[in-house]
Amino acid sequence: MLNLVLFGPPGAGKGTQAEKVIKKYELVHFSTGDILRSELAAKTELGLEAKKFMDKGELVPDEVVIGMIDAKVKRNMDAKGFVFDGFPRTIEQAKALDELLNKKGLEVTGLIVLEVEHDELVKRLVNRGKDSGREDDKDVSIIENRIQVYNRKTMPVVEYYEKANKYYPVNGVGEIDEIFQNICAVIDKMK
Ligand code: B4P
């Protein structure tokens, strides 16, 4: 099974590239951001709780997100593989993902990190905020907080996978299709 983590700061293009990767390699997509937003749209208890964190650009508590992923992996055990998009975002989530996959005799194949510098991230998110309706894209101070949270809490995850020889950086700036080709080259080497 090909189990990929698409990683990078907010606005790096994880969601954009994940759509293309799942289509080409016929993998199941897990976007914790999308799952949380659909819970929010359905006004579930989980969604309303998550909203308090998301609107401020903070991370939703680990136990909430880990539970969501666990349930979805269990429902998709016949898949060719998974693309985790926006997960793991903390060391605790990375350890939980390893545990969860190991129990099923699986493991993360590789962490693909989309590298984009700060000003480009802010530009993309402000742009998306004009019509996305996402509260966390509307305000530059919330966008800046998301980037800071990424640097503080999420970046250590890179080192975790680097130690396991599973770290694959890719330049996330340029044409979407060009970046996708570079990601495919990395995946084809892993396989
Ligand atoms: P996410 O939904 O994961 O959102 P994100 O980090 O903003 O990245 P996204 O994937 O949407 O953006 P993309 O780079 O594709 O998380 C939202 C919130 O949910 C978090 O802040 C947190 O509160 C919560 N959450 C989610 N997962 C969690 C977890 N595991 N633990 C705790 N909390 C969690 O694209 C951005 C924009 O750039 C788009 O408009 C796109 O069109 C554009 N773009 C993409 N590629 C481009 C390119 N090459 N050139 C120019 N523009 C490009």
Render 45-58 in DSSP notation, one character per residue.
Answer: HHHHHHHHHHTTTP
Residue in 32, 41, 111 with CA at minimum distance from that of residue 66: 32
**How far is residue 165 from each of residues 27, 111, 112, 169, measured CA to CA in Å?**
22, 9, 12, 12
Sign of CA dihedral 38, 15, 25, 87: negative
Examine the pLDDT at 72 and tell me if it is beyond 90. no
- Tell me the per-residue pLDDT of 48-66, one tens digit each, with 9 for 90 and over: 999 999 999 999 999 999 9
For ligand 1, atom 53, which residue shows the shortest CA distance? 13
Say what percent of the chain tops pLDDT 70.
100
87 C-beta neighbours (distance < 10 Å), count: 24
Distance 101 CA to ligand 1 centre (A): 24
The residue whose C-alpha atom lies closest to atom 11 belonging to ligand 1 is 15
Q: How far is CA 30 from the centre of its chain?
A: 8
- Give the pLDDT mean for 128-132: 93
Confidence of residue 25 (pLDDT cuts 50, 70, 90): very high
- The predicted pLDDT at position 70 comes to 87
Burial 45-69 (b: 16+ CB within 10 A, else e): ebbeebbebbebbebbebebbbebb
Rounded to 10 degrees, the C-alpha dihedral 136/9/146/130 comes to -30
- Probe ligand 1: pick from 124, 152, 179, 181, max atoms within 8 Å of CB? 124
Q: Output the DSSP codes for 113-140.
A: EEE--HHHHHHHHHHHHTTS--HHHH-H
pLDDT above 90 (res 32)? yes
Query: Would you say residue 74 has pLDDT above 90?
Result: no
Regarding the beta carbon of 136 and ligand 1, being less than 6 Å apart is answered: yes
Q: What is the pLDDT of residue 122?
A: 98
CA 34 to ligand 1 center in whole angstroms: 9
145 contacts 56 by C-beta, under 8 angstroms: yes
101-118 pLDDT, tens digit per residue, is 999 999 999 999 999 999
How high is the pLDDT of residue 143? 97
- Residue 187 has a pLDDT of 98
Q: How far apart are the C-alpha atoms of 149 and 105, rounded to whole Å?
A: 32
Q: Amino acid identity of 102?
A: N
Give the whole-angstrom CA distance, residue 139 versus residue 147.
Answer: 13
Taking only the tens place, the pLDDT of each residue in 148-185 is 999 999 999 999 999 999 999 999 999 999 999 999 99
